[in-house]
Amino acid sequence: MQWSYPELRRKLTEVGLWPQGRMSRLACYLAALAIALFALEKLLGLFSLSWGEHLGGWVSFLAFLACILFFILGFRWVKRRILWRLRNRLIVTYMFIGVIPAVLLVAMGLITLYGLGGQFAVFVVTSETDAQLRSLAAVNATVSSELAAHLERGEKPVPESLAGLIKRDPAWSRRQVCAWYGDKPLPLCNEYHGDSIAFPGFVKSKFQDLVRDHERLHLRVGSSLEVGSNRLTVVTSEPFDKDLVGKIAEGLGEITLYTTGEDQSPPKQQAPATAGAKDKTPVSSSPKHTSGFVINTTDNQRAASPGGPRVLHPAFTVGSMPESTASFDREITFGTPLPVVDWENGTSDKYGPVLQVTTRPAVLYSHLFAALGEFVRGVTYILMGVAIFFAIIELIALIIGTRMTRTVTAAVADLHVATRHVDRGDFSHRIPVKSSDQLADLANSFNSMTASIEKLMLEQREKQRLENELAIAQEVQDQLFPRQTAGLESLDVHGFCRPARTVSGDYYDFLSASSHKLILAVGDISGKGISAALLMATIHSAVRAYSVENLPQMREPVAVGAVAGAGRVMATWPEGIEVSPGALLGLLNHQLFESTPPEKYATLFVGIYDGRSRTLTYSNGGHLPPILIGKDGTVRRLEAGGTVVGLFDGMTYEEDSVEMVPGEVFLAYSDGVTEPENDFGEFGEQRLIELVRENRNLPLPQISQIVTMAVDDWIGDKEQPDDVTLVLARAR
């Protein structure tokens, strides 16, 4: 069927394909001209005519103009066909006003969160590295003080001088300590099997940084101080290797260290990753250029060409990627250069290593908000409520109609009724949900919020119950302390304890063993709170059981003041049973060691006062040494004994015996008396001694009141940091 030109034009006009305006006709003419020139260019190319090559520029120019005109025409057609209805106009307006800016903001936020997440991951790693440097600095300071003391006494330092530090610190096997007196090395580096440390001439006072030495990275600290006529320089070093970075990577993710070097050794086969971890080895063999470095992702090229960029190759990869907790819990990979000091000259190395951390947002979230607990959940609910509120606004702006208005009105009414229930304290009310739109989601969120508030109320009541139980525990503990002063004719005693919390971890007791003998016990439990109070009750019962019912005794009677075995002084009971405070501490130490966790221990002073001979036989298990203040103000400290009880098994405790003259005051206290601080420092033992010395002639309860008031004045408005315990006795 053949159509004439008018008929063809009419048909194309009916379907909207015939250009009606001047712009549309111009666009069609330009497109047709570009097609014709393109065909002519190809035809001339078949005959190898050179001037046909110049048509390519005109074809591109005309095609570009035609595309611009067709884009304008297409926008006009969309505007005329789609945006003719007001509903669609409002939708498009909302898209440009609300949706597109929101998408851009979310995109900017995600990019920002990605950068902040990566920076935080790197910050966690660098913070752990700084903490390790501070630990090395503390060790270095201790070693410097130890060596300086040896040199000042004229002794020659030997490796055995550090035996005590090595025994206490399990990480010492990875560390190397070298020292120089003047420019001569001291014989301390032989204990470490590795490269020796060169003398750091650039260390003038203190040094603490990551260094490169013998093409290896080390965490290294150094200090230099004047000792005699020369300078003592001490350097402590620990390799910045796979083991150290692996400890940092635990619970964080995967850490890869890229370093520069001239190592031409063949590539090593890496160990397989842990179960469930992905293989992170890059497969590309072409190095990546970044900031003057070439990051070589394979091991077959270790060094850069002379004069070119330095090559960064992966030294090691430690850690493993945690499992994803949600669909949005994607991997975050971030790298940062590490500042390195060249150990040969002390200058900064601009080609330092690069640390790459790969982790997940859930891991960073747990590190960042670990200490906030339920507060973060509350903030999340608030943000969710705000998001839902804006979602409702978006919905209202997008859908205009009576049905939506009725739906919104009904939802607001339901919320109003629910808030009235909440205002009356009825958190059990729930909004009925009959649909599955955003308003229903709001109702579910409100129901979730009221359920959470109801749960918080239950937790509040549970907390009140626990507080009541603690109050009962405090009353029970008060009954454990001596209710009446069990003094002797020749000895007045007084005790006072004020807990820092509801219950106390301090302990004191007076036991009348006979008409002329009295047992005094003063102790301090590690920690505070209910756990310390329970251990205090255990010690209280054990001391009374061992002292009254099953007295620790020796096989052969020993007179008062005599020595039994390795210097053990015994006190004699009227019945012939001889009790040893040291043996009592030994039994108690064994019991606590067997029945308490390893981190729990106590300090305990036990003394037995004989009123006939006015002799105090005692043994001190790691407690602050009690003090005897004479009538003339002289001070004697009761220090014989041993270490704390409950920490090590099989310990023995020495004893001693002192005679108390009439008027002499016995003073025992806990660290809660001497260690409170203010802007002027600690309260201190000397201030306590001066207070008791000035008021030693007053009644013992009055002396106790003066001391506690002075401690309160010293603390001021601050919270009492520790339990305050004071035991006083005066010989008559």
Q: What are 210-224's pLDDT values in tens digits?
A: 888 888 888 989 988
Work out the widest C-alpha separation in the chain, in whole angstroms.
143
CB-count burial class (<10 Å; 0-12, 13-18, 19+) for 684: middle
For the chain, percent of residues with pLDDT exceeding 70? 72
Structure tokens at 468: 């009541």
- 325 CB-near residues (< 8 Å, 6+ apart): 360, 362
CB-count burial class (<10 Å; 0-12, 13-18, 19+) for 124: buried
Residue 469 pLDDT > 60:
yes
| pLDDT score recorded for residue 571 | 41
Residue 271 pLDDT > 70:
no
* Strand extents, DSSP E, 254-330: 254-259, 288-290, 293-295, 310-319
| pLDDT score recorded for residue 544 | 76
Query: Which of 4 and 721 is assigned the larger pLDDT?
Result: 721
The position carrying tokens 């900017």 is 108
Contact present, 518 and 510 (Cβ < 8 Å): yes
DSSP SS3 for 521: strand
Query: In terms of Cα–Cα distance, which of 596, 601, 557 is closest to 575?
Result: 557
Q: What is the mean pLDDT of residues 643-665?
A: 90
DSSP SS3 for 211: strand
Q: What is the mean pLDDT of residues 22-30?
A: 81
Q: How confident is the model at residue 626 (pLDDT cuts 50, 70, 90)?
A: very high
State the Rg of the chain over Cα: 42
Residue 327 pLDDT > 70:
yes
Q: What is the mean pLDDT of the chain?
A: 76
Instruction: Report the range of poorest mean pLDDT among 75-79, 120-124, 246-250, 262-266.
Output: 262-266
d(CA 369, CA 458): 24
d(CA 454, CA 427): 6
Contact present, 421 and 368 (Cβ < 8 Å): no
Residue 410 pLDDT > 70:
no
Contact present, 356 and 335 (Cβ < 8 Å): yes
* Strand extents, DSSP E, 592-664: 602-610, 615-621, 627-629, 635-637, 641-642, 656-659
Q: What is the mean pLDDT of residues 85-100?
A: 63
| pLDDT score recorded for residue 605 | 93
Residue 372 pLDDT > 50:
yes
d(CA 645, CA 623): 10
- Give start and end residues of each alpha helix (H) in 153-218: 163-168
Tens of pLDDT, residues 246-267: 888 887 888 898 887 544 233 3
Structure tokens at 173: 């096997």
Q: What is the mean pLDDT of residues 308-334?
A: 79
Report which secondary-structure segment, H or E, holds 11: helix 5-14
d(CA 121, CA 97): 36
| pLDDT score recorded for residue 290 | 39
- Burial of 588-626, coded b for 16+ CB within 10 Å and e otherwise, reads bbebbbeebeeebbbbbbbbbbbbebbbbbbbbbbbbeb
| pLDDT score recorded for residue 297 | 45
Residue 667 pLDDT > 90:
yes
Structure tokens at 420: 């009235």
Contact present, 237 and 218 (Cβ < 8 Å): yes
| pLDDT score recorded for residue 264 | 29
Tens of pLDDT, residues 561-610: 333 333 333 343 444 455 688 888 888 888 888 888 888 888 999 999 98
d(CA 433, CA 447): 10
Structure tokens at 264: 């031409």
- 560 CB-near residues (< 8 Å, 6+ apart): 570, 571, 572, 610, 613, 615, 617, 657
| pLDDT score recorded for residue 272 | 39
d(CA 708, CA 702): 10
| pLDDT score recorded for residue 706 | 92
Query: Which of 86 and 628 is assigned the larger pLDDT?
Result: 628
Query: Which of 2 and 361 is assigned the larger pLDDT?
Result: 361
DSSP states along 401-425: SHHHHHHHHHHHHHHHHHHHHHHTT
Structure tokens at 672: 């809660």
Tens of pLDDT, residues 149-180: 888 887 777 666 666 666 666 667 778 888 88
- Burial of 172-202, coded b for 16+ CB within 10 Å and e otherwise, reads beebbbbbbbeeebbebbebbeeeebeebee
Residue 404 pLDDT > 60:
no
Structure tokens at 215: 């093409």
Residue 94 pLDDT > 80:
no
Residue 300 pLDDT > 70:
no
Name, of 250-264, 387-401, 469-483, 652-666, the range with top average pLDDT: 652-666
Q: How confident is the model at residue 18 (pLDDT cuts 50, 70, 90)?
A: low
pTM over 0.85: no
The position carrying tokens 């260290």 is 257
